[in-house]
Structure 1
Amino acid sequence: MKKILKLLVLVLVVALLYFGFTTYPKLDLISGFSAKSVASGHFLDNRPLELIEKGDNDIPLLNLATNKIDETGKFATSAVYGLKERKAIYREGLGATLINDDFDISKPYDIPKRTKLENNLSFPYGNNEPKDTVFANIDYTKLKNAVASAFDKTGGKLKRTRAVVVLYKDKLITEKYDTGFTKDSKILGWSMTKSITSSAFGVLAKQGKIDIYKPAPIAEWKNDDRKIITINDLLHMNSGLEWEEDYSTICDATKMLFLAEDMGRVQMDKPAQFKPDTHWNYSSGTTNLLSKILRSQFKTHQEYIDFWYSAVIDKIGMNSMVVEQDMTGNFVGSSYGWATPRDWSKFGLLYLHKGNWKGEQILDESWVKYTATPTNTSDGKYGAQFWLNAGGKFPDVPRDMFYCSGYQGQMVAIIPSLDMVIVRMGLKEDPAFDFNGFLKGIIDSVKK
């Protein structure tokens, strides 16, 4: 009996040591990710906790969290085995923000001033229902089958597509939603938000208010090697700054998103590893630094938060979109943009038409060309906060395709040669989800 007890104690000690070395350091990140996901999904999109836990939070380790929603206080809390409880608060107009114990929830805050597109036009140039349009050169049976093949059968979890929207020649030719989601569902774009951030710079450049080829306006860099880094280098993910982005572990990106108060400062404080324009390195920290730089271009915080919406988002009728903020009030331009799939498709349409929105040139054509031109160290896969197919990542898709891309397989694909925009939202990314086959199936439904 004593031997059995000793063995049980030994097993318990080993288990505790294993937990301590492998999981405990991650608890802040697990509970932080979970609390933020629950608060955003519930208060922005009215998702019940059960759907969030079985869908959004159905990720290894994240399912260890126990979550609670406070409807009255409008916040969510999460903890792992009762440890490391984290809290995310919801504020109307701002979405959810993951906070720490030092955050003053009673402090007044600015809310973006929004304008709703009311032009009595049908989607996509307005918010009325789309008009039925039939194109003689589209095989609608093939199109329907291609889109349907992106979705799981009831209860399946292989493809995990939540929404598909396809625009062709400015018309909605098909859309489909998974159970529990509709055309009005707001879905997190994750890193597709980076392309929104880039667009804000594009408007400032068009207005002549910023020169992206000048050194970034960061006082802390003026006396070291980083002083030569330009906004152009940052937009291209080509700054040479140290950064690690690996969502399967504790890294710069996860610590930034789930621990940092000022997300833009995390990348700003990193040392230079290489000379600018010599090493491409994908970095969400870089985009949040760009958001911080954008803030410095405005006299007041209110002007900064209004600009994102007035210059781009509301300008094209993406009225469902909410870009969430960090604890300092800066937009998390790397990751936290929520919108309906239809509204994400409007953003693709803006770029399909070279920055023109129904006659108004919101972005210069040269800016759209700039965003879709490969940076010289990315092997043809990245431009300025947009991904590219110039290097042939998707072999059966035209090389001129450029796209917004986000964690777990969010995509807004822009294909100029086909006059087409394809949106896919889901929970599986390439290669687990066959994007090449998915895109090819839709493209093949259009007769040349």
Structure 2
Amino acid sequence: MKKIFKILCFSVVLLLGYYLYTNYPLDLISGFSAKSVASGHFIDQRPQEMIENGDNDVSVIFLATNKIDEKEKLVTTSVFGLKERKAIYREGLGVTLINDDFDITKPYLVPKRTKLNTNLSFPYGNEQPKDTVFANIDYSKLKTAVTNAFDKKGENDKRTRAVLVIYKDRIISEQYGTGFDKNSKILGWSMTKSITATCFGILQKQGKMNIMKRAPIDEWAKDERSKITINDLLHMNSGLEWVEDYSKLSDATKMLFYDTDMSKTQINKPLVGKPNASWNYSSGTSNLLSGILRKQFKTHQEYLDFWYSDLIDKIGMHSMLVETDMAGNYVGSSYSWATTRDWAKFGLLYLHKGNWNGEQLFDESWAKYVATPTNGSNGKYGAHFWLNAGGYFPDAPRDLYSANGYQGQKVFIIPSQDLVVVRMGLTEDEKFDFNGLLKGIVGSLKK
């Protein structure tokens, strides 16, 4: 019996080793874990155990061992004592996963931040939201819909961290999971893509950008890739090769957990389709766009400042932090943190078609542009925003569009209902009933 048990154990170890070797190299595991622990701890002050049991509860990431250095603001991680990786926190830039060549003593630039100081209530100022009761809302039905988005005591299936509902600029429902509140900063993952795209809309409004022009990439100048426009990139419709798969070593995971300069990753990819006719979701494209944004400014300081001065701080998203790669570029695909209320402000900016308390940050036409289906997406994708034009959520309005992120981060914008709905958590569509949540919220508005 003991011999059989030993054979079984040995077989399990071999199978696990083979899986890791072919799908998740040990340094990818330690890289993911180091970055996650460092960001969660130093940006949102979460305890290590909370991060490891929550954010790091992904596939084989639990195999990693993490050590936090509070003085150096550094996390060192390994797997079975092997393949050590490090992630460092730098004020103003967030956490960066670093390699052995990275000089942590080298001086670095940080974005200049300006905090709005007004006596206005949320969302346009720093004061608490006004209590407003709308006669056309069934608050009992609304409460049921929002409460159902959270796990009951003893459950761990929906794993929702926050739900916020805004109607006509007023918070009508707000609920948080255990360990989270209105001050908690939560990673938006790919919702960052929508932030990146918005920077292009703002530059176009300012007359400094024409998205219909060909992408300014020198490496493409003498081949068929020269036909790719910024518009194609915003639509994820460049035709460039890219594999977006987080279950194994892929283009996306290699970029996020190995590359020094993430803005260059997709530049070297060949065409496998035709521009504007080959939709393919790509985080490499978003970081390439971040690199294109860098080219619009004479200095790196101006590039760092612009994201905040002309968008993030402009609308009072003061909790937001966009993290950078080792080369100092914003990771425009994946790494931005903010409170749920600040994520909601971003949704409100689009609900109001670029107008923020009287100031037009981007043209009204830009909101229509990002919410118009791109070729080949079957009505589910626009310009760095996801759409419901094809009825993905059958019980939600078709004009709904959203900023989406890994593990079910969502900022839903529903113009026809004057609604913004934010959900933050750790589960995707397959495990969380987003359609049911939206149906219940929209259904609470009396006709």
TM range (shorter): over 0.9
Corresponding position: 1:387 with 2:386: yes
Q: Out of 417-426 and 15-24, give the one that drifted further.
A: 15-24
Partner residue, 2:297: 298
Structure 1 gaps of 5+ residues are: none
Instruction: Please give the alpha-carbon distance, in whole angstroms, between the structure 1 residues aligned to 2:84 and 2:93.
Output: 22
Partner residue, 2:179: 180
Partner residue, 2:116: 117
Shift of 1:22: 2.1
Shift of 1:4: 5.5
- Conservation of the 8 A alpha-carbon contact between 1:32 and 1:78: yes
Instruction: Please give the alpha-carbon distance, in whole angstroms, between the structure 2 residues aligned to 1:257 and 1:36.
Output: 10
Instruction: Please give the alpha-carbon distance, in whole angstroms, between the structure 2 residues aligned to 1:400 and 1:22.
Output: 42
Q: Secondary structure at the match of 1:29?
A: helix
Instruction: Please give the alpha-carbon distance, in whole angstroms, between the structure 2 residues aligned to 1:182 and 1:305.
Output: 29
1:356-409, CA deviations, whole angstroms, 9 ceiling, x for partnerless residues? 001100010011111111112111100100000001000000000010000000
Q: Secondary structure at the match of 2:25?
A: helix
Partner residue, 1:140: 139
One-letter amino acid matched to 1:192: M
User: 1:400/1:106 Cα in 2 relative to 1: closer, same or farther (>3 Å)?
Assistant: same
Partner residue, 1:272: 271
Q: Out of 115-124 and 325-334, give the one that drifted further.
A: 115-124
What's the C-alpha RMSD, in Å, of the aligned pairs? 1.6
One-letter amino acid matched to 2:358: G
- Conservation of the 8 A alpha-carbon contact between 2:407 and 2:426: yes
Partner residue, 1:160: 159
Q: Secondary structure at the match of 2:244?
A: coil
Partner residue, 1:411: 410
Corresponding position: 1:81 with 2:80: yes
Instruction: Please give the alpha-carbon distance, in whole angstroms, between the structure 2 residues aligned to 1:12 and 1:46.
Output: 39
Q: Secondary structure at the match of 1:69?
A: strand
- Conservation of the 8 A alpha-carbon contact between 1:124 and 1:172: no
1:162-185, CA deviations, whole angstroms, 9 ceiling, x for partnerless residues? 001110001111100001001000
Partner residue, 1:351: 350
One-letter amino acid matched to 1:228: K
- Conservation of the 8 A alpha-carbon contact between 2:278 and 2:375: no
Partner residue, 2:438: 439
Instruction: Please give the alpha-carbon distance, in whole angstroms, between the structure 2 residues aligned to 1:120 and 1:224.
Output: 55
Partner residue, 1:102: 101
**TM alignment of 1:187-198, pairs within 5 A:** 187-198=186-197
Partner residue, 1:22: 19
Partner residue, 2:333: 334
Partner residue, 2:419: 420
Q: Out of 353-362 and 123-132, give the one that drifted further.
A: 123-132
Instruction: Please give the alpha-carbon distance, in whole angstroms, between the structure 2 residues aligned to 1:4 and 1:149.
Output: 49
One-letter amino acid matched to 1:269: N
Shift of 1:44: 0.3
Q: Secondary structure at the match of 1:21?
A: helix
Shift of 1:14: 5.5
Partner residue, 2:200: 201
Instruction: Please give the alpha-carbon distance, in whole angstroms, between the structure 2 residues aligned to 1:427 and 1:181.
Output: 13
One-letter amino acid matched to 1:309: Y
Shift of 1:111: 0.7
Shift of 1:155: 3.5
Instruction: Please give the alpha-carbon distance, in whole angstroms, between the structure 1 residues aligned to 2:103 and 2:48.
Output: 26
1:291-323, CA deviations, whole angstroms, 9 ceiling, x for partnerless residues? 011001111110001000011100000000000
Structure 2 gaps of 5+ residues are: none
Q: Secondary structure at the match of 2:78?
A: strand
One-letter amino acid matched to 2:123: P
Partner residue, 1:245: 244
- Conservation of the 8 A alpha-carbon contact between 1:291 and 1:331: yes
Instruction: Please give the alpha-carbon distance, in whole angstroms, between the structure 1 residues aligned to 2:292 and 2:119.
Output: 37
One-letter amino acid matched to 1:114: R
Partner residue, 2:306: 307
Instruction: Please give the alpha-carbon distance, in whole angstroms, between the structure 2 residues aligned to 1:145 and 1:162.
Output: 16
One-letter amino acid matched to 1:446: L
TM-score by length of 1: 0.97
Partner residue, 1:261: 260
**TM alignment of 1:312-323, pairs within 5 A:** 312-323=311-322
Instruction: Please give the alpha-carbon distance, in whole angstroms, between the structure 1 residues aligned to 2:411 and 2:146.
Output: 15
Q: Out of 330-339 and 207-216, give the one that drifted further.
A: 207-216
Instruction: Please give the alpha-carbon distance, in whole angstroms, between the structure 1 residues aligned to 2:329 and 2:404.
Output: 22
